[in-house]
Structure 1
């Protein structure tokens, strides 16, 4: 003989092996993606989507009123690790005598929220102690019946 092998016939076992391999890969990838998705997302965006939908137009009105104020917040972390906020109005003047509170949220929801009250440390300067790490800061400033909100990040 000259070394030529005869081709083996394609059988049901071959087809079964192909199908099992194909679906095994698909299922493995799906399980991996589902585990990654559930391990990195904290969960709830709103508690009740129907109630949130009923409040949506009110939230838009509040946002327009806040934008009309023209306030700005400089949110940063000081050298000692404390949270520092500088509030200014539309003309760039410091906003004093405001009541400033904040909620520090971990970006991935791995740590609990930290509620902060930021006392004034001078004209337009507010600050409070903040644990180490990266935080999303939801700031609320109130002065003379006006409420203004801002979101920033510190790391």
Structure 2
């Protein structure tokens, strides 16, 4: 058996190939991780911090109204979901004339968020539809507006099968 001697050139080529492979795998995994999960909850944490005081004030105003807003979400046979919101004032009377907007937000991926547009179908009853809602956990975000001002905000975790 004749064996070739291990030279400095062979060792150098093996080291370069090994570290080239390791770096190539790391770069590929990093690109896949960034493409599938951006890792941010808000686009601009600085802007979110600036609006924090306004959000606290709006939450106090909402609590002072003592409204009772109930939301119900039901899965449809076609894979979509129907969301119904019932709004009542502090005395239990239905609240009419509000404009509700909603979103079904994926807790892990903002790119999967779905908008829900509500229409008033009865006095104080608002309904909206979302198409092609995947099963799993969602955040149901409901915002109510009156005369151009947000008067209600709710965020609830729901599980759709």
> How has the CA–CA distance of structure 1 residues 112 and 84 changed in structure 2, closer, same or farther, with 3 Å as cutoff?
closer
CA distance in 2, matches of 1:146, 1:31: 39
> How has the CA–CA distance of structure 1 residues 22 and 79 changed in structure 2, closer, same or farther, with 3 Å as cutoff?
closer
CA distance in 2, matches of 1:17, 1:28: 16
- 1:59 is aligned to 2:55: yes
In structure 2, the residue matched to 1:104 is 102
> How has the CA–CA distance of structure 1 residues 6 and 113 changed in structure 2, closer, same or farther, with 3 Å as cutoff?
same
RMSD, aligned α-carbons = 4.1
In structure 1, the residue matched to 2:120 is 118
Q: Give the count of matched residue pairs.
A: 142
Gaps of 5+ in 1: none
Task: For residue 96 of structure 1, give the secondary structure of its aligned residue in structure 2.
Answer: coil
Deviations 1:23-70, CA, capped at 9 Å, x for gaps:
1111111111122135x98x9746x955x5544322211112212334
In structure 1, the residue matched to 2:154 is 150
TM-superposed CA distance for 1:114, in Å, is: 4.1
> Would the aligned equivalents of 2:144 and 2:150 in 1 still touch at CA under 8 Å?
no
> How has the CA–CA distance of structure 1 residues 44 and 53 changed in structure 2, closer, same or farther, with 3 Å as cutoff?
closer
> Would the aligned equivalents of 1:100 and 1:126 in 2 still touch at CA under 8 Å?
no
Give the alignment's TM-score, normalised by structure 1. Answer: 0.61
Gaps of 5+ in 2: none
In structure 1, the residue matched to 2:17 is 17
Deviations 1:7-36, CA, capped at 9 Å, x for gaps:
846711111111111111111111111221
CA distance in 2, matches of 1:36, 1:141: 34
CA distance in 1, matches of 2:86, 2:22: 58
- Greater fraction of residues in strand: 2
Larger Rg: 1
> How has the CA–CA distance of structure 1 residues 27 and 97 changed in structure 2, closer, same or farther, with 3 Å as cutoff?
closer
CA distance in 1, matches of 2:56, 2:21: 52
In structure 2, the residue matched to 1:31 is 31
